[in-house]
Chains A and B, each alone.
Chain A
Amino acid sequence: MKCAGIDIGSRTIELVVIEADKITYSLKTDTSYDPVSQARGLLKTISYDRILATGYGRALIGSCFDMPTITEIKAHARGAIAVFPDARTVLDIGGQDSKAISLHDTGKVKKFEMNDKCAAGTGKFLEIMAKTLGFDIDDFGKEALLAKNDVNISSMCTVFAESEVVSLIAKGCNRCEIAKGLHNSVIRRATGMINRVSSAGEIVFTGGVAKNSCMCNMLADKLGRRILVPDDPEMVGAFGAALLAGE
């Protein structure tokens, strides 16, 4: 049986097809201003027996294409535990939201925390800050790792943090150190969320921000816990949805 999962996030849409629990096909595109056409484009490329929609735009896509839906919390939990069966904690930091989830041994969601409605502590925050500092987002983490010290960034709010960064640049601060400070501020948010849902054990890190090596290192240091990153961390939600479609 071919099962598919489609994860309509605020920034990107991911589609995964699995057969016998193995990914046979995956594809990603921007959500854009027209998620319905984007999703239609993706869906055209595949055939499937069952499908589940998840993510921020699940209700819209679910009703347009007559698909059942599940929340991204459940999808990420399912996907993460499939990749790392021993883990009981998941951290997902995507384009515009972040969440920490703890799981029962059965794989069921035990507790979860999500960020507030603003972009603080999400991928969007890092993206804007990378731009302000003139870094490519893909190198942002690596560059931050070059810094010996970090500059303390006190604002969590994206708008305020940006002006803080501008004034630090004007003071002549090293841009790698500012970058590290910015990573640290996202880490502070993330660790707060994780500590509210679980206190020990390995953590599966998913979502686009998991590709940032500085984030992974700093998280591991700060929490003293092992951080596990799946090969394709952005696909975990869609993968989880595909698995659940078959169950």
Chain B
Amino acid sequence: MQSEKTDMKIVPLMDDGYDGEPAKRVLNYLHGHKEKGDPIVGIYCGYAPIELIQSMGIVPASLCAFSKIPIEAAETVLPANLCPLIKSSYGFIIEGTCPFFAMSQAIIAETTCDGKKKMFELISEVKSTFVMDLPQVPDQIEAVQNWKKMILKVQKFLEETFDRSTSDEKIETALKASNRKNALMQKIFDYASIKPPVISWQEMYDVAFLAQPSTGQEIIPVLEQLIEKLDMRVKDGIYFGKPDSVRVLVTGCPIGGDATKVFKVIEESGGIVVAPDSCTGMKTFMGRFDENTGDPIAAMADRYLKIPCSCMTPNTKRLEDLSVLIEKFKPDVVIDFVLQACHSYNVESYKVGNHVTNNHLLPFLKIETDYSDGDIGQLKTRIEALFESI
């Protein structure tokens, strides 16, 4: 991408040879650990208690997939009208082409949506899988208690599977490191709130994909360096898009790989993504763990249940958080990204749309799509029409 002002190619933020290929970067990270003999556990969701896993010296690997290629294979077993994220993840597994799955010695799964839940039953036939029963009415007082119990159970599962142990001290240290990591990530995202933004969606993705599985200790120095680089960009007057590019907040289902077609269409239509609000973007780095409570597992349970996923009901926190993001990132429009057959995000879109148009007076568009390229023309028309309506 070019900067208007300097008309010079911007040096990629991470500049480590993996720019634009976050999955490869993470794979490289995991290989490093594998060589050291560290165990790897596959996870599927933002609710996975990463700090617990890390406190045992185990490395988490996200198995959510974003490629259309394995979908055909998946459809030999799964119905065609299922969320492409689920089909893609499962297709990779039965094709035996997912290096992340191959490296994972066990799987931690969460009962989020029905499609994933039923897929986990199929996965458990192939690999040792622990399914965490996720409470879905987070405002009930029992919810946090139950989630804490579930985290304790997963702890036992990990201890037995990997012959590792942890302690309250180790978990507390991991929580503190994550707080620091998440605060730095929030700071990095903030560079997109500047008008025009000094960080691109691709770079935010690149950093987020690596930061998610990394421990605080590993990633904090990297993030600090990135912040220095971003400060330099501010000084040098480097930015993305044009000063009058339409600022877009994209909320909804996780976006990655082939689904990033939406971001590309947004850019081609004269927009710039300033806030990717999903589990592959900013969502998992928000919030904070309470420190020094004496019960780090409870602190963990509390913070994780605050992730505003559409599988929760009522998911009022999503709208509250969205308001905070809108205030901060000052988008001109909001796009809700819904993967085909994701009923919870799809139904919730009605509330999100009303919230955005009535309370923030911003134009709103829901996009329902999958990983194929067949609807790019249609997406272009919708997104351009949305921009025209500003």
Q: Which of the segments B214-222, B288-296, B308-316, B381-389 contacts the partner chain?
A: B381-389
Q: Is the CB–CB distance between A109 and B377 below 8 Å?
A: no
What residues of chain B lie closer than 8 Å to A109, measured between beta carbons? 385, 388-389
Known A71-B381, A71-B384; contact A110-B374, beta-carbon cutoff 8 A: no
Cβ–Cβ < 8 Å partners of B381 in chain A: 56, 71-73, 114
Chain B residues whose CB sits within 8 angstroms of the CB of A74 once the complex forms: 385, 388-389
- Asked if A108 lies at the interface with its beta carbon under 8 angstroms from chain B, I say yes
Nearest chain B CB to A69 CB, angstrom units? 8
B31 within 8 Å of A by Cβ? no
- Which residue on B lies nearest to A117, using beta carbons? B375
Kindly state the separation between the CA atoms of A72 and B380 in the bound complex, as whole angstroms.
Answer: 11
Q: Find chain A residues with CB under 8 A from B384 CB.
A: 70-71
Query: Contacts of B368 on A, CB cut-off 8 Å?
Result: 116
Decide yes or no whether A216 CB sits under 8 A from chain B: no
The verdict on A71 contacting B388 (CB below 8 Å), with A56-B381, A59-B380 known, is yes
Hey, which chain B residues are within 8 Å of A117, CB to CB? 374-375, 378
Complex contacts, B380 vs chain A, CB 8 Å: 59
Q: Is there contact, CB below 8 Å, between A56 and B385?
A: no
B150 → chain A closest CB, angstroms: 39
With a CB–CB cut-off of 8 A, which chain A residues contact B377? 56
Bound-state CA distance A70–B377 (Å) is: 13
A7 to B69, CA, bound (A): 35
**Residues of chain B from 339 to 390 with CB closer than 8 A to chain A in the complex:** 368, 374-375, 377-378, 380-382, 384-385, 388-389
The total of chain B residues at the interface (CB under 8 A) is 12
Measured between alpha carbons, how far is A109 from B389 in the docked complex, in Å?
A: 5
Mark contacts of A105-134 with chain B using CB atoms, 8 A cut-off: 1 yes-contact digit, 0 otherwise: 000111010101100000000000000000
What 1/0 flags go to A51-65 for Cβ under 8 Å of B?
Answer: 000001001000000
Residues on A with beta carbons closer than 8 Å to the beta carbon of B374:
117
- Chain A proximity of B340: nearest CB distance (Å): 9
Inter-chain CA distance A28–B368, complex, in Å, is: 33
> In the bound complex, how far is the Cα of B388 from the Cα of A154, in angstroms?
37
Interfacial chain A residues near B389, Cβ < 8 Å: 74, 108-110
CB pair B378–A112 under 8 Å, yes or no, is no
Residues of A within 8 A of B378 (CB): 97, 114, 117
What is the chain A residue whose CB lies nearest that of B353?
A111
Q: Which residues of A contact B375 (CB under 8 A)?
A: 117
Of residues 75 through 91 on chain B, the ones whose CB sits less than 8 Å from some CB of chain A are none
Interchain CA distance A74-B381 in the complex, whole Å: 10
Which A residue sits closest to B364, measured CB to CB? A111
A218 nearest CB across to chain B (Å): 26
For A16-52 the 0/1 string (1 means CB < 8 A from B) is 0000000000000000000000000000000000000
User: Which A residue sits closest to B390, measured CB to CB?
Assistant: A108
B390 CB, nearest partner CB in chain A, Å: 9
What's the Cα separation between A56 and B384 when bound, in Å?
12
> Who on chain A is nearest to B388 by CB?
A74
Q: How far is the CB of B377 from chain A (nearest CB, A)?
A: 6
Bound Cα distance from A109 to B381, whole angstroms:
13
Q: Which of A133-186 contact B (CB under 8 A)?
A: none
Q: Measured between alpha carbons, how far is A42 from B381 in the docked complex, in Å?
A: 24
Cα of A109 to Cα of B382 in the assembled complex, Å: 12
Please name the residue on chain A nearest to B377 by beta carbon. Answer: A56
Q: Which of B377, B380, B388, B389 gathers most chain A CB within 10 Å?
A: B389
B218 → A minimal CB distance (Å): 43
Residues of B within 8 A of A59 (CB): 380
> Whose C-beta in chain B lies nearest to the C-beta of A104?
B389
Complex partner residue of B388 from A70, A97, A114, A116, CB under 8 angstroms: A70
Min Cβ gap A198→B in Å is: 14
- Chain B contact residues, CB within 8 Å of chain A: 368, 374-375, 377-378, 380-382, 384-385, 388-389
- Given contact pairs A112-B382, A117-B378, a sample of 12 additional A-B residue pairs in the complex whose CB atoms are under 8 Å apart: A70-B384, A70-B388, A71-B381, A73-B385, A73-B388, A74-B388, A74-B389, A110-B389, A112-B385, A114-B378, A114-B382, A117-B375
For this complex, 26 residue pairs linking A to B, each with C-beta atoms less than 8 Å apart, are: A56-B381, A59-B380, A70-B384, A70-B388, A71-B381, A71-B384, A71-B385, A71-B388, A72-B381, A73-B381, A73-B385, A73-B388, A74-B389, A97-B378, A108-B389, A109-B385, A109-B388, A110-B389, A112-B382, A114-B378, A114-B381, A114-B382, A116-B368, A117-B374, A117-B375, A117-B378
Q: Which 7 A-B pairs have the closest CB atoms?
A: A73-B385, A71-B385, A109-B389, A71-B384, A117-B375, A74-B388, A71-B381
